[in-house]
Structures are given as structure tokens and as C-alpha cells.
Amino acid sequence: MLKPQTANPPKKEIFVPGDKSISHRSVLFSSLAKGSSEILGFLEGEDPLCTMSCFQALGVGFEKKGPGNYFVTSPGKFGLRVPEKILDFGNAGTGIRLSAGLLAGLPQMEAILTGDVSLCKRPMARILDPLNAMGADVKSVENNGRAPLQIKGKQLSNYQYESPIASAQIKSALVFAALSSGIQIEYAEKELSRDHTENMIRFLGGNIEYKTPLHFILKPPFSFEGTKFVIPGDLSSASFFIVFALCAKGEPVLIKNVGLNPSRIGIIQVLRSMNGKIEILSPRQECGEDIGDLLVYPSKLKRTTITEDLIPSIIDEIPILTIAGLFSEGGFKISKAEELRAKESDRIQSMVSNLERLGVSVNESQDGYEFGELSEIKSCAIETFMDHRIAMSFAILSKLTNVNLSFDDTSWVDTSFPGFFDILKSF
């Protein structure tokens, strides 16, 4: 198996940026709530900032008070105005999908939502079909099931939906549509997807009735008031340095103030099953979210079996888990993860092609890939496929091994983790 070549001990303590998923949602919820709100710990990456800019175009005021600190003034959902221009969400898949749901349930609304070249390749039919079944009028402008999306807001009807896939974006798009239209929604899924939206609704005093952990009913009325949103550090961002600390030689690394939502901690479960030593310190709660500090020790990793039920909670972390697999006794396998093909890039193809450039023998399937234990990799050019997680994962590998990897473009990293390379250079 690969052996790290890092000579200097890691820095003892680091912080990662605010949670991207919760940052997006803080914009939407503070826009729904009439009056004033405050957001602390907002991720000032391109994706959340694009969502914020779109809601500014809808008439919501965001005044920056300091790093990650914003004062929000909203006219409330009925005061949101028709934008004068097309709403550009950049590369923010979460932003465009959740916002499409919110705007679809506002009878006064007409808008066109778009994004960059990468975003306009991502599938949108998964939200369009159920939204339109609720009575919405949301269309793909090119009629190809992708952005740009044209929305004509409508008063929607009570709705029941069982999602064929575990997806927080589908779930949240429908929930935001229900919130904006003031209707009841009953939602079920086969595996637990991220529940940040539900947590924030409960934090704001909303009424969610759970029939099972995978089946809930959200009931009106919804009369949210402005409040303070405190956003923890992003576990997905922390995962890069968790893997670095596990695989590097040196002292333990303490990663402070990380969100530990139970629907997100699959990455910790998997790495622990790979013999990784990770401790959770100072557990606490903010805005309905579990938070803690992570103390990560250098560990001798081994191959593990990743079960299908864990896939929804690790879907964004699979690229960096794959890097951990390169350092594992016995290699690595991921399966039942076809959803990877619908991310910022086709992440199965992106990872396999780059692993092959490194000299790794990889068996690719429709829903994953597998490779055995290896002892070396070779220097090569990494293609990032306009995907921030691909870029960051192989940057971690390059730092761990001191193997020179060149990159076609790493600017995509700023969509989710500004300052990533500064932290990496500090080790």
C-alpha cells in the first residue's frame, strides 16, 4: 500500500469554512422570514454567494458585517419580487434546485434560473416532475430536462411523494415549494438523506410529524420570523483534512467546530471501519444541528465494506474516501453509488480516469469502481473536470506522497472551500 512521504508534522489545529448545504438554506429561510435575520459562519464560496446574489435580485437585502457574518432584511415570501434579470446560480446545484422549489410555490413569481456550463449539464427532471405534479409550472427552457429553468409561480396543492432515490435536494425542493405555497406535504424516502432543511424548520418552530425516520408530514401554517442562523464548519470540507491527518506521519490534527449531523457522518463511520482513529470532542448543538471538534490521529488504514445504506450520507465524500483507499491495506471498493454520475462531473468516470493516469489498475462499473492494494503511483496530469472535489482530493494525494501532480484548473475549489490551498500549504 502507499506510504505517505510527509516530513513535517501536521499543524495541530485548523478550522474549515461554514457548511455549504446549511449556508444555502440560511439564505432561503431568511428570505422566507419577513423582517430581520443574522447569519453567522456563512460559507463565502462561489456557490452560496451565487444563491445570495439571486435572492438579492428578488428583493432581499444582505449586508455584510464581517467575515461570514450577514444582516438580512426580507419583505417575506409574499414580498419577493419578479427579478429583472435571469437568476444565475453559477455552479450551485443545491442553490438552483432548492430555489426552483421555493419560487414555484409563489403565485406572483416569474423567473428564469440558470447556471454555468457544468450546472446546465446536471439533471433537473428529478425535481421538475414532482414539482409539476404539485401543480407547479416549471419547465426546462431547452426541453432537455436541464437548466435553464423557466418558472411561473402557482398556488400549489397538498402533495404526497415517495422519492425513488435518497436525495436531500429533491426533498428540500418539494419542502420549499410547500413552505412558499402554504400547503401540506407528505414525503418518504428509502434511505435517510441529509435533513438540514427539516432541522431548520423545527428550529424555526415549524410542524413536522414523523411516521418513521424516513417518512414525515409537514403541515401549515408557516409563519417564520427572522432569527440568528449559526452555521457550523462543513464536514464535507473537513473530510479532506480528516483523510490527510489519518494518512500523514506526524501529530494528531484537531479540526474545530464541525457540523456532525447524523445524516452526514457516514464519512466518519467508514473511516473508523477502515481503522481510522477519530475522536469527537465537545459535542453541542446550534440551530438544530449537532456540532463538535474532531481529533484525528495518524492510522494504518485497511479495506472495508461500504454498505448501500451509507451511500447517501457519503456521496460527496467518495472522491476523498477513494484517496484514503490508496493508502489502505487491501485497496478500496465503492458500489451502489450511481448517483455519483450526476454530480458536478460524472465522478465515477472522473475518478477512474485520473486513477488510471496514476498507474492504478481500476475496475469500473456503472455504480462504482474497485482497485487493489498498491505500493506506488506515478507523476501525471490530473484533469479536474470542472469539479472542486476532484481537484481537492488529488491535491491531498499529491501532498501526502510528494508525487508531483499537475492540474488543468483548480479554480473550481473556490465554489466550496476558499482557502483550501492555504491550509494545505501549512502542513
| Calpha distance 131→274 (Å, rounded) | 40
Q: Which residue has the cell 479536474?
A: 384
Considering only CA atoms, which of 87, 144, 90 is closest in space to residue 113?
87
Residue 316 designated active-site: yes
Considering only CA atoms, which of 167, 42, 58, 40 is closest in space to residue 111?
58
Burial 313-324 (b: 16+ CB within 10 A, else e): bbbbbbbbbbbb
Contacts of 204 (CB under 8 A, 6+ apart): 29, 33, 224, 225, 227
| Calpha distance 74→414 (Å, rounded) | 27
Bridge partner list, 316? none
β-pair type (87-88, 110-114): parallel
Considering only CA atoms, which of 244, 294, 248 is closest in space to residue 268?
294
CB 163, CB 170: distance < 8 Å: yes
| Calpha distance 10→418 (Å, rounded) | 20
Which one from 316, 346, 408, 409 is the annotated catalytic residue? 316
| Calpha distance 282→270 (Å, rounded) | 21
| Active site (catalytic) residues | 316
